[in-house]
Structure 1
């Protein structure tokens, strides 16, 4: 009979768990769902490709101040239309469970995107990804107001239509 130490079994189990978790995390950036939970749409790479991408240079809240960064991702409004969930307001929820209500008007008029890339590099959880709500702050000085900074949710986990 083959003897396998418990410590080795534990290491293998942890490795498998991390591998499965990473694979799942790569499949979905975040979800958009109705408040009652009757409809949930996974935002995947395919959904992002279908929505199209926008690229612009802007400053990023919570980073190095006035340095411009090139961000790329689909318009939030395009993702909402694709998901078929329309509301007056959405609750943006981050991986750390930070929550903030965002008026639908923000997505319709300000050109906020779900950034999935900054400076040509895909976002990871370690660097505020895999998706980050980013406003084109450098194009519109009104968007540097602290209210928009609070709505610039990084590590976006879900958007709930209210």
Structure 2
């Protein structure tokens, strides 16, 4: 009988862990931490949505068919923090990190996407945040370098000027 209870407790615990993995973060939870010259700025989903909204319609090498991503342009995010030069170190939840030159951040360029096809992105669906480039708009966005910079499960940006 004890073994059955242990099994049930383990199964219930696993379900709670899986449910946490699949849930959508609340609008007030910090999703993105941006550090500029050692000054920390925290953004919730609501904070990101308060910035100008950008939409990218594109195909990707990771998804099927045309995708519609909505989020904040990286340029608008940097403008809100008065950043015009330097390097962005983008880091994901799993500690994957990549450097993005601020010079990459142009009008109609990359977006910190928080929705895909009108739906919030879950962690298992590359969310809750994904840096997406308008891959179909220019062949320059269809390179290994740009694909490597298209970091999903983004949770931190460090900007060094």
Corresponding residue for residue 41 of structure 1:
41
Give the match's secondary structure for 1:138.
helix
Corresponding residue for residue 142 of structure 2:
144
- Matched-pair contact (CA < 8 Å) for 1:61–1:152: no
Which structure shows the bigger proportion of residues in strand conformation? 2
Tell me: CA distance 1:82–1:144, structure 2 relative to 1, closer, same or farther (3 Å): same
The TM-score, its normalising length taken from structure 1, stands at 0.78
Which structure shows the bigger proportion of residues in helix conformation? 1
1:124 and 1:156 map into 2 onto residues whose CA distance is 12
Give the 5 Å matches for 1:52-71: 52-64=52-64, 67-71=65-69
Q: CA deviation at 1:109?
A: 4.7
1:84 and 1:24 map into 2 onto residues whose CA distance is 27
Tell me: CA distance 1:26–1:96, structure 2 relative to 1, closer, same or farther (3 Å): farther
Q: Could you list the runs of 5+ residues in structure 2 that have no partner in the other structure?
A: none
Q: CA deviation at 1:23?
A: 6.0
Q: CA deviation at 1:86?
A: 4.5
Corresponding residue for residue 31 of structure 1:
33
Number of equivalenced pairs: 149
Please report the RMSD computed on the Cα atoms of aligned residues, expressed in angstroms: 2.9
The TM-score, its normalising length taken from structure 2, stands at 0.78
1:155 and 1:88 map into 2 onto residues whose CA distance is 23
